[in-house]
Chain A
Amino acid sequence: MLVSDPCGAPVTAPSDPESLDALRQRLAAVASLELAALDAEEIAVLGRKQGELTHLLKAMATLPLDEKKQRGAALNALKLEFDAAVAARRTELKHGAEARDAREVDLTMPGRATWTGTRHPVTVVMDEIVDIFRELGFVVALGPDIENEERNFGALNFPPDHPALDMHDTLYVDTAGADLPAGERLLLRTHTSPVQVRVMRAGPPPYRVVIPGLAYRNDPFDASHAPAFTQMEGLAVDEGISFVDLKATLSHFARRFFQSDAQVRFRPSYFPFTEPSAEMDVSCALCGGSGCAACKGSGWMEILGCGMVHENVLSNCGVDPERYTGFAFGMGPHRIAMLRYGLADIRLLYGGDMRFLAQFGALGQ
């Protein structure tokens, strides 16, 4: 049966099973067509004007209703399959082209980098120390670098004319014009301990603070001295805090900061502002305690000074020493950074040499 086409071309009736079979064969062949042939085949079969399948679908309009239903379903299914096969083949060909392009690009060429910023090694050390004490309930307190004699010495139980003052070569600040009474002379704090005084005078216990900051001494600027260096103090005062808490807290710190299996020892020492006083040593990380150049053969490295806050200091700060007890400690992040990174000259830590700073990475591990 022939039907007329609007374009005048004679077409095979849609009921022609031969044309459907031929189209099914061509559908099977789509998966192996190259791009140009695929484009041609898509036009030849699905094209709006010339497409064979399009023709068959258009020709259905002339069929009786029941036949239209039957043939229409088959033709539409075939059209969908054809669409899908062409799209799938097109994607396949595209990926193949990309893969080919990729083979031509040298992906081993360097990527585009950005500068890596760095925190100072001393900052890294300080932040690590603070983080560990934070876990133990401490918070950070700060105070000014310029202090008066009373808070730097007097309140901290330094007797006037005492040999202990020899440990602190003090830098004084010119206050020409200011009329200062005794004890109010201004100095660059020789330790961060005046902040303890400020904390205690600001309100009642409990206190649990760490105090990072700079301390100043009238020292020459050479390989092992600097006139200003960082200190990290700590203060814990409450009812019932004892020497056992001091040992436990600082031992825990040492094992967290150094190695979990580090040996820790406490030796008696002397500071005017603590009693009993101690030095804490940690087994040398380099030699493991057998003695090496880094630990001067002792197997131990001095890490911090500590002790129970002297009862005179508590009294001087308005805290009742019969009711409250506590401990304090202090260490030197500059010195710890030198130990950790094996620096022989402290002046590197005060300079801005990019070749030095760049070694400490973005997070400065």
Chain B
Amino acid sequence: MNASRQWLEAFLRRRLDSRDLAARLAMLGAPVDAIEPVGADLRTFVVGLVTAVRQHPDADKLRLTTVDDGSGTLFSVVCGAANVTAGRKYPFARLGTVMPDGMTIEKRKLRGEPSEGMLCSARELGLGEDHDGLLTLDTDAAPGTPLIDVLDVGDERLVIDVTPNRADLLGHKGVARELAASFGVPFRLPEIPGEVALDLPTPTRFGDEAPVGGIRLAIDDRDGCGRFLAAVIRGVSVGASPEWLRRRLVSAGVRSINNVVDATNYIMLELNQPMHAYDAATLRGPSLIARSSRPGERLVTLDGVDRVVPDGTLVIADAERVIGIAGVMGGRDTEVTERTTDIMLECAWFSPVRVRRARRALDLATDAAQRFERGTDRWGAVDAFRRCLRLLVTVAGGALDGSSADCFPVPSHPPRIFLRPARVAQVLGIELAWQEIEKHLVAIGATVLSKPGDGRIAVDVPGWRPDLTAEIDLIEEVARVHGYDRFPTELRASRPGLRVDDAAWAAAGRLRLALAAHGLSEVITLPMVARAGSDAPRVLNPLSADHGLLRDTLLPSLVHEVEANWAMHTANIRLFEVGTGFAAGKHGALPTEALRVAFAVTGDRAPAHWTDGGKPAAWDRWDASGLFERLVDLAHPTAKVHVEGDRWIARLADGSVVGSCGACPADAPPWAAPLFGGEVTVGLDLRQRASFTPLPVFPSIARDLALLLDLSQASAGITGLLAERGRRHGLESVAVIDEYRGKGLPSGKRSITVRLVFRSADRTLTDSEVEQALGRLRTSLERELDVTVRST
């Protein structure tokens, strides 16, 4: 909503400061996004004094003028306006000035005579439609004075961010009401300059149908049109609006069109009641009907677009055709033009839901639709209608043909709501005297009907507040008018809830800390991707195909980020993400979600150090698998890691896969180090509390065994066997500590060294006990795995 400060001043009968207004409105729930000086685009224009005028030698309609712009230089300017007079002042555009229509003023020759600037009409300045001649400035200001200081366009436009519940703030009157409450002063409607005295009886009440000025007015869709007012004015002269009216509209950001359209727009901006004027001569029947559209109906709207009207849309029609989308936009065929002499003025209450549906179906956002969608004041419509008629006759002439009609098939009153002061205290946490509650409600225009003898107050809400339908709505109004800043902020005791942190949150936090401690950096990538597995759920209406699927795994997003880093010539990349993986439901089941964690690493394993000559080792597969095993331990401790093909796979006891790790295919530059990545599904509630084992009392004995095995033989099988068989001999741990391939070994063989640590819980083991155990283990290796011991 664009509000003119001067318009608000006219309501409140006092001078206002825009910044103060913005502060007050913010605290009333209507923040001001911007304060724009009206006419800011005129800043570059100055007052020009025409010192001489003579006829152009080669053109009857052009004159050669000399202009003083205060700079000390006199300019020759060719001018086409008949009213240019020596000794008078006009708006002057110097060379280089950009006109409101985007044209830049340049030095040029007109029929051979040089012109160094331009004298302007009101229309050229965007100040109105008057193009009869130059805008004469009746001012004492010296030449060169900025035009904006002279024109008294000194208005400001407040761009108010109105929340969807507040219909009333889309009109100046609604804003003025809020400000009046804030200032504690009364407000009333501004006078209409030069208002014509008009005998204007209250419109005659009808049901669904009424005759008005020889035209049939009818409601054929009560659901869509709750009230339908109309009048016929004959003998209007359509033309330019008076200056004050044009200014009001321009200040509120609306273009002036002609006096009839301007009058309806003025009422819309003032009272939040959109109106529409038809050229009465174009109505066939003649009639004006609010009804639902029928299949296949079309309409060329005011913007010149030929539209198919969706079936069931609330429309305005005459006897033969649709002539407007009710509450959204009128039709071109019945538009008021310069030739129009008789107009039919319509004022209605349209269903917000129906207008919203039409607006969305036609994708046609208009000022009127915005207002009807939020709900206009169906009871205040009569006053708005009468004011509009007065304004129309004042600015466009003409006379009412008979009395106006008011179709109100189901008369109603604004709702009555009961408010309990005790409930106010319960919700707001402060005790307010009922007189204070009453004062706040009266300030918003409500009528308070009873004293709280029975513990409640009856409140008739104003018609312009369709958002007030229940007690809680009034409680909010009480708090709002009382002022949120007047509530205390001391913390009071409260009962804690009985839940514990969601397990996924706790798990995600642990994983983030662990991976960051490992030197990796967290990313949060978009869950919507362009490509994913066949299980990925599809987004029905993505804005871009790049975001058409919900990812099933995280790793491809990390690989994508690695590639982006490579593109920036970053070689050392360590990324991880903790996020959701999605899977479409099978056989009509709903999609599922799982917390996942993924990592991708490439480049140097550690920052370069001078001891390694600036060439640190790169992340290799053993770094990757070690990180993966750590991650499986953290994320899914019940899973076991197996080697499958060239990847490490984490599986649960039932065989289901919960993670995998390996080299990642990627679009890598030639200089890039190998890329490794892994991903694990996070198992929740799997975490076990650490258990304490008493510290060992007796010393351990370590022995290294060098084993000879086939190149293809898995070391895991050997260490597994040793661990199992060694347990009864006091084997505490077994670890591979070296591998050797090459010279000195039989072909097809390799050697690994394992370190075995023995310890007993109840005595110091002797060498001979350990030797005996080693002998048994050696036999097991030879018999069961065909592995021989090279040395001990």
**Which residues in A have some Cβ–Cβ distance to B below 8 Å?**
109-110, 112-120, 122-123, 127, 136-142, 144-146, 161-164, 166-167, 171-175, 177-179, 186, 188, 199, 203, 206-209, 212, 214, 218-221, 226-228, 230, 236, 238, 240-245, 247-249, 251-252, 264-270, 275-279, 308, 310-311, 325, 349-355, 357-358, 360, 362
Across-interface contacts of A308 in B (CB, < 8 A): 427
B570 in contact with A137 (CB, 8 Å)? no
Kindly state whether residue B15 has any CB partner on chain A within 8 Å.
Answer: no
B540 in contact with A163 (CB, 8 Å)? no
How far is A228 from B527 in the complex, measured between Cα atoms in Å? 8
Across-interface contacts of B27 in A (CB, < 8 A): 265, 267-268
How far is A173 from B593 in the complex, measured between Cα atoms in Å? 13
B164 in contact with A270 (CB, 8 Å)? yes
Tell me whether A173 and B591 are in contact in the complex, defined as CB-CB below 8 angstroms, given that A161-B353, A221-B544, A242-B428 are known contacts.
Answer: yes
A177 in contact with B588 (CB, 8 Å)? yes
A270 in contact with B593 (CB, 8 Å)? no
B429 in contact with A172 (CB, 8 Å)? no
How far is A140 from B500 in the complex, measured between Cα atoms in Å? 7
**Which residues in B have some Cβ–Cβ distance to A below 8 Å?**
26-29, 31, 163-166, 352-353, 356-357, 373-374, 426-430, 470, 472-473, 475-476, 479-480, 484-485, 487-492, 494-502, 504-506, 509, 512-513, 515-528, 537-544, 546-547, 550, 558, 561-562, 564-565, 568, 570, 572-575, 580, 582, 584-585, 587-591, 593, 606-607, 609-611
B606: contacting residue among A114, A240, A353, CB under 8 A: A114
How far is A192 from B247 in the complex, measured between Cα atoms in Å? 46
Across-interface contacts of A123 in B (CB, < 8 A): 512, 522, 524
Which 10 A-B pairs rank lowest in CB-CB distance, beginning with the nearest? A242-B429, A352-B561, A268-B29, A115-B519, A244-B429, A117-B516, A270-B163, A137-B496, A208-B497, A276-B476
Tell me whether A141 and B487 are in contact in the complex, defined as CB-CB below 8 angstroms, given that A117-B519, A123-B512 are known contacts.
Answer: no
How far is A205 from B46 in the complex, measured between Cα atoms in Å? 69
Q: How far is the CB of B594 from chain A (nearest CB, A)?
A: 10
B502: contacting residue among A140, A240, A269, A362, CB under 8 A: A140
Tell me whether A115 and B607 are in contact in the complex, defined as CB-CB below 8 angstroms, given that A142-B504, A351-B564, A352-B564 are known contacts.
Answer: yes
A238 in contact with B610 (CB, 8 Å)? no
Across the two chains, which residue of chain B brings its CB closest to A162?
B164
A145 in contact with B575 (CB, 8 Å)? no
A-B CB contacts (within 8 Å), total count: 288
How far is A118 from B518 in the complex, measured between Cα atoms in Å? 10
A352 in contact with B164 (CB, 8 Å)? no
Q: How far is the CB of B263 from chain A (nearest CB, A)?
A: 27
Across the two chains, which residue of chain B brings its CB closest to A199?
B499
B516 in contact with A350 (CB, 8 Å)? no
How far is A351 from B584 in the complex, measured between Cα atoms in Å? 26
Across-interface contacts of B568 in A (CB, < 8 A): 353, 355
Q: How far is the CB of A287 from chain B (nearest CB, A)?
A: 16
B516 in contact with A118 (CB, 8 Å)? yes
How far is A218 from B526 in the complex, measured between Cα atoms in Å? 13
| 7 extra A-B contacts, CB within 8 A, seeds A243-B429, A270-B166, A351-B561 | A115-B572, A115-B607, A141-B499, A162-B164, A208-B497, A241-B494, A266-B487
Q: How far is the CB of A62 from chain B (nearest CB, A)?
A: 46
Across-interface contacts of A251 in B (CB, < 8 A): 489
Tell me whether A174 and B495 are in contact in the complex, defined as CB-CB below 8 angstroms, given that A142-B502, A352-B575 are known contacts.
Answer: no
11 A-B pairs within 8 Å (CB atoms) are namely A145-B582, A163-B164, A164-B165, A171-B539, A206-B497, A238-B494, A242-B428, A244-B490, A248-B488, A265-B484, A325-B426
Q: How far is the CB of B541 from chain A (nearest CB, A)?
A: 6
B565 in contact with A354 (CB, 8 Å)? yes
Tell me whether A243 and B585 are in contact in the complex, defined as CB-CB below 8 angstroms, given that A118-B521, A161-B356 are known contacts.
Answer: no
Across-interface contacts of A161 in B (CB, < 8 A): 352-353, 356-357
Across-interface contacts of B494 in A (CB, < 8 A): 136-137, 206, 208, 236, 238, 241, 245
Q: How far is the CB of B17 from chain A (nearest CB, A)?
A: 16
B472 in contact with A311 (CB, 8 Å)? yes
Across-interface contacts of A122 in B (CB, < 8 A): 524
B542 in contact with A117 (CB, 8 Å)? no
Q: How far is the CB of B260 from chain A (nearest CB, A)?
A: 29
Tell me whether A164 and B565 are in contact in the complex, defined as CB-CB below 8 angstroms, given that A174-B540, A209-B497, A276-B475 are known contacts.
Answer: no
Q: How far is the CB of A10 from chain B (nearest CB, A)?
A: 51
How far is A353 from B570 in the complex, measured between Cα atoms in Å? 9
Q: How far is the CB of B749 from chain A (nearest CB, A)?
A: 37
Q: How far is the CB of B158 from chain A (nearest CB, A)?
A: 14
Across-interface contacts of A166 in B (CB, < 8 A): 164
B526 in contact with A227 (CB, 8 Å)? yes
B476 in contact with A277 (CB, 8 Å)? yes
Across the two chains, which residue of chain A brings its CB closest to B29?
A268
Across-interface contacts of B480 in A (CB, < 8 A): 268, 276
Q: How far is the CB of A242 from chain B (nearest CB, A)?
A: 3
A110 in contact with B537 (CB, 8 Å)? no
